[in-house]
Structure 1
Amino acid sequence: MSTTYHTGPDQPPVTIALGDVTITKMSVGSMDNNVYLIENRRGDAVIVDAAAEPDRIVELAAGRTVRAIITTHEHADHIEALETVSHVFPTAKIAATAATADALPVEVDVTIENGAIHAFGDLELEFITLRGHTPEGCAVVVGTHILTGDSLFPGGIGKTPSDQAFFLLFNDVRDRIFERFDDSTAIHPGHGDSTTVGEQRPHLSEWEGRRW
């Protein structure tokens, strides 16, 4: 399969098999937001970014034990369905960074910090925090795959409001992703197609120079 793992509005979800764990990527809403369902063979699952179209998200997760709903960052297009989906799965923990919590329509149960590893049922996930696109968002590490929210895309890092915020995000992405993970690691952003660390690594100096 192509490293883009392409899907889009009105297209079926794409499922990525990683041994005991699978990641399903689905596009929702008018902004082509990616919702991700991470699950293991025992049926433990987490939803990443309940962005829009709650009925489709609920259908995607049907039959699983949804242990958590993770929000990568506070922007409205990533949380429009969060309250509705959380009511359908009332035992699911709500997970986000402390900086994201106040913007959410539901109370956060699990506060994400950089480098933290959290177990949701038998599903264990690592988190990387990334600052700059928002005060502090997060990425989710699933083996050799990273769900980066709006902090890293094919072709550049996420939009930032100032030069200071740009360098904060650029440095976090460089130090916490590119300096740690090898070139085969897949990057799954909050919108659009996926990519790999290796496909983007040669462009770091270009991004730094243009400041976007």
Structure 2
Amino acid sequence: MDLPGPQTNNLSLETKRPPLLVKLTGYRLLVLALTSTFGIFKATFALEGQSVTPNSLDLAFGVPVTIALWWLGLYESIDPPVLAWFFHIDYSRLLATTIWLTLRMVARCTLAAVITILIYIIMVMATLPIIRLVLSIFRPDDRSVAAIIAVCMVVGFLEMLFIYTLGNELRKFALKHSETFRRFEEIVSRYQSHFMHSSCSMFLNSPTLCSEFSFKD
């Protein structure tokens, strides 16, 4: 009878799959912002034909900032974590929500502006022929200025009624979609609560004192 040999732990041999998207912590967002700013300034000076300024920018900005960012990057792997709100909290969802809501708001505002301009153009194009027709029927020499004013007042009243109706519909549309902005405020408040909790734990270093504060998710 053969004795079973030692079984290897298959779980320890399995490699963990990396997440689809890496975490966007405050430190990584700072690195992205500084790198983009440095590249934009250097490219701008290079396009202007300046050869000394980009090299001076490398020495005055690139080298010190690179050393400082490398030194800060060492704190990402420290256990227990230091400055969790800066090195460990993931802001990717908050950033994606902010970008999505901003693009959505800009698109809606642009659409509303285009619709308003088109309506104004259509109203002007529809009003001018009426005024010209009235002027062609009631000649100035007929002294029918009162009739011309009356027709213009009627046309203006109809235009004001149309604008009021359009504004009322736009107000209903804004109230209908106010739920989206409320959800965005909830996400922002959730990240603020995590930030306050991590800051309290770091500076006070006392779970008892931190538990006195109410952090709602």
Q: Same fold (TM over 0.5)?
A: no
For the aligned pair, the TM-score class normalised by the smaller chain equals under 0.3
TM-score by length of 1: 0.19
Larger gyration radius, structure 1 or structure 2: 2
TM-score by length of 2: 0.19
Q: More helix per residue: 1 or 2?
A: 2
